[in-house]
Homo-oligomer: A and B are copies of this chain.
Amino acid sequence: MSDVERVLRRVDEQLPQAVERLFELLRIDSISTDPAYKDSCRRAADWLVEDLRSIGFDSARHDTPGHPMVIGHQPGASKAGPHLLFYGHYDVQPVDPLELWHRPPFEPAIEDTAAGKVIRARGAADDKGQLMTFVEACRAWKQTTGSLPTQVSLFFEGEEESGSPSLIPFMQANKSMLEADLALVCDTGMWDSETPTISTMLRGMVGEELTITGPSLDLHSGIYGGPAMNPIRVLTRILADLHDDQGRITLPGFYDGVADIPEDVRSQWASLNHDGGKFLQSVGLSQAAGEADYSVLEQIWARPSCDVNGIWGGYTGEGFKTVLPSKAHAKVSFRLVGEQDPERIQQDLHQHVEDRLPADCTVSYRSKDGSRATVMPVHAPAFRNAQKALTDEWQKEAVYAGCGGSIPVVGHIKQILGMDSLLIGFMLDDDAIHSPNEKYSLNSFHKGTRSWVRILHALAQR
């Protein structure tokens, strides 16, 4: 029996203990966005430090102005293999509305469902369950063979669900602790419950909050309606003009840097047989609203988009109040692909706004840090080896997928540490992350751990 087979057998045998360890972590209510849970976040970090030490990692908690980071290091059996940096986060989303949970969110349990056994708890999938798949894979290697196949560092943060305010400064100040050859990021999902997936394209993002000010105070629309410019009128014009009738975004030069989808990628995606109609139908829609020349999947994975994420101004309560407001606000964001430059798009948006601003109105901005899109080197050996390991475990060809969302840490790893990231995760679309009754399939947890066992072995063989 090979090393890999022995390690996999240990994973199978020790599954109940692994679940119990995950439950310990899930019982810690490490909600990062609410200061009331600051202590819980520290307890989760300390739990991880101790657990990593028990597997032989040289691990420590690193305090920040926000929640602590956890870092652990362990050499590998092979000096020739790459040094891997695994990233995950131990903080979780808030649990409101609590009344929609059918069990307390921090009292994890295995539940039987039509789709098999699931682990039910806040954080079960995002990201405690996912990060523990990797930790359990390391434990199984260490306990079975006495060492890891290759050098591994672990990097866990506790602010991912609250905007990661400490992440960039910490990474910049601690580059030497985080240096490695390749990053592994386990915060993504599977194409479906049977198809293992490597996410190789992530859209970038840039966001802007606009405040249009017209009159210096709220006015009565009877006394001023007509001659007084209403900032909501100005804002709606600005926002309406961001799209043309074909669903294209109108900022001049917006599509500069948006490459055509390569033919091999396009055909691989086509082979996924994604049913765009069904995808939209599941959220009450029947027609794709994006660019007409692209399939739904292509619109999400390979085309940029623009959404107003929030808008507000004037009276929004019950009944009518005939106010002509002083201010109107919107939060706008763009999803970026290819080489689109967030800073340039921000500037172009400002120009678009100012071109439509009457003399009497002013605008102010609150910018969200932008991130570029990520395109991974799918032809590099590490990607091919990982794909093969996943295929072996799941007995189904692992696919390279896009991802419409943005995972900012991937950009930071590239820009600050100079590394590509291998994005592998085992979440399913119905895991209800960020929602009540979050769950993680027990199969994801078990086969996810087995997948990392194989990937660690495969990557060490370079």
Contact = CB atoms under 8 A, between A and B. Distances in A.
A331 interface: yes
A214 B226 CA distance: 31
Contacts of A312: 311-313, 316
Contacts of A368: 319-320
A349 to B, nearest CB: 15
A313 B310 contact: yes
Kindly list the 9 A-B residue pairs having the minimum CB-CB distance in the complex, ordered from nearest.
A222-B405, A216-B284, A310-B314, A226-B290, A226-B299, A229-B289, A226-B305, A225-B305, A240-B240
Interface in A258-310: 276, 279-280, 283-291, 296, 299-300, 303-310
B217 A284 contact: yes
A226 B322 contact: no
16 contacts: A163-B319, A217-B284, A221-B333, A224-B404, A226-B288, A226-B404, A227-B288, A227-B290, A228-B280, A230-B308, A240-B241, A307-B324, A309-B321, A316-B331, A319-B368, A322-B333
A299 B239 CA distance: 27
Interface in A338-364: 358-360
Interface string A130-165: 000000000000000000000000000000000100
A359 B320 contact: no
A372 interface: no
Contacts of A335: 221-222, 225-226
A37 interface: no
Assembly stoichiometry (copies)? 2
Tell me what chain A mostly uses at the interface: helix, strand, loop, or mixed: mixed
Contacts of A205: 222, 322
B228 A283 contact: yes
B360 A287 contact: yes
Given A236-B311, A311-B316, 4 more contacts: A203-B222, A221-B305, A226-B305, A235-B236
A129 interface: no
Nearest to A300: B226
Contacts of A209: 320
Nearest to A215: B283
Contact of A299 (B227, B284, B316): B227
A381 to B, nearest CB: 29
Contacts of A323: 309-310
B308 A316 contact: no
B322 A207 contact: yes
A219 interface: yes
A222 B406 contact: yes
A358 B219 CA distance: 33
